[in-house]
Amino acid sequence: MEASKKDLTETARQVRVELGDRSYDIVIGRSVLGSLGTRFTSLFPGSRAVIITDCTVAGFHLEAAEASLRAQGIIPSVVVMEPGEKTKSYKGLIEACDGVLDTRLERGDLVVALGGGVIGDLAGFVAGIIRRGMRFIQVPTTLLAQVDSSVGGKTGINSAHGKNLIGLFNQPHLVLADTAVLDTLTPRDFRAGYAEVAKYGLINQPDFFEWLETNWQGIFDGGPEREEAIARSCQAKADVVAADEKEANQRALLNLGHTFGHALEGMAEYDSERIVHGEGVAIGMVLAHEFSAQLGLCDPAITDRVVAHLQTVGLPTHIGAIPGQLPKVDLLMDYIAQDKKVSRGALTFILTRGLGQSFVEKDVDPSVLRAFLEEKLN
């Protein structure tokens, strides 16, 4: 058993996020969670750990994470949160901070974020502000977190004014992406994560999108295509982060579909019964392509191709697919006006000129956008 675990760990793929003395590795492969303890002690000998997770993830993966740390003589403390987007809140932040402070860990100790994007964002924020900064490790347990939110250092919580408006950049010291844990996801959550995978092709890698159109089933089935897709997605994000860590310029491209998607999540009050983040991104990417086509920037046939692929994998592609009452256009416009990319009141969107030809448009006419949204809501 030990030999087989070692073999699996040694065949793991690694992607390096190059940020000078803050560089770190993303380790990708089946069963790499079992190497958490050895990697922890190799990087941070003598340090202690607190695991922040949620009660759903804890039921599947906490025992394995604790066992790996204990095997190296580390007895971790554990803070267990409620699952769901609503945990990324002031209330959740206070609860997580108090939980970490109760452990009496010191600045040189580590927070281990064991969970999806919600836990990763929250735990990374907690690590960044407790004792003015603790180190932390990301152990993402969803596809969305493995290819997106665990990489790049964006951490934070939501506000009534919008998503991810309160937070800071805090790079992890290691990302451990065990692709086997994705087998425990619901089909809905796996599909939601896939939206972020498709996003990388639509940003600037049309060959990757074409590969996904052919190989998506292998990703869902857990074949070697899964590791390939995750590694290519992580490399795409690592390259962008290394070039523009604080989103001064081209890192904004990673938000393709997110301005629309975040507004849709906000109007649904972050109710995961109605919409989860990846579903918002899927609908948002379609809206971004449709808006680009309406502006004469993109061939409508490209939008049709994007819609066809997202529908093939089971993702929603229009606002009407969100259960419940549709929002008024004024509400969506309010959320969009609070988007982090807004600069001096000018609306900024990621639009596209074709497949894998996205760009930053820094001054979108609000009246044109309003008319577009009114059409989509009718």
Domains of the chain, CATH where assigned: 2-183 (3.40.50.1970), 187-377 (1.20.1090.10)
Would you place residue 2 in the very low, low, confident or very high pLDDT band (cuts 50, 70, 90)?
A: very low
pLDDT in tens, 167-201: 999 999 999 999 999 999 999 999 999 999 999 99
Q: Is the pLDDT reported for residue 251 higher than 90?
A: no
Residue 95 CA: distances (Å) to CA of 83, 141, 209: 13, 21, 41
Residue 247 CA: distances (Å) to CA of 20, 60, 126, 158: 17, 35, 21, 19
Look up residue 292 and give its DSSP letter: H
277 in a labelled binding site: yes
142 in a labelled binding site: yes
What region does 131 belong to: left with phi over 0, alpha with psi -120 to 50, or beta?
Answer: left
179 in a labelled binding site: no
Q: Give pLDDT, residue 344.
A: 65
Token duo for residue 298: 């993109």
Q: Give pLDDT, residue 207.
A: 97
Q: Give pLDDT, residue 340.
A: 64
Would you place residue 106 in the very low, low, confident or very high pLDDT band (cuts 50, 70, 90)?
A: very high
Q: Give pLDDT, residue 308.
A: 98
pLDDT in tens, 50-95: 999 999 999 999 999 999 999 999 999 999 999 999 999 999 999 9
> By C-alpha distance, which of 256, 259, 254 is closest to 336?
259
Question: What is d(CA 156, CA 118) in angstroms, rounded to the nearest whole number?
Answer: 9
Q: Give pLDDT, residue 18.
A: 96
Q: Is the pLDDT reported for residue 351 higher than 80?
A: yes
C-alpha 147, offset from chain centre:
7
376 in a labelled binding site: no
Phi and psi at residue 235, to the nearest 5°: -65, -40
Residue 35 CA: distances (Å) to CA of 9, 235, 247, 326: 7, 22, 32, 46
pLDDT averaged over the chain?
93
Calculate mean pLDDT across residues 160-170: 92
For the purposes of burial, counting CB atoms within 10 Å of the CB of 338, is it exposed (0-12), middle (13-18) or buried (19 or more)? middle
Q: Give pLDDT, residue 342.
A: 67
Active site residues: 132, 154, 196, 237, 247, 251, 255, 258, 262, 277
pLDDT in tens, 22-43: 999 999 999 999 999 999 999 9
Coil/strand/helix, residue 164: strand
32-67: burial string, b at 16+ Cβ within 10 Å, e else: bbbbbbebbbeebeebbbbbbbbebbbeebbebbbe
6 in a labelled binding site: no
Coil/strand/helix, residue 268: coil
Q: Give pLDDT, residue 341.
A: 65
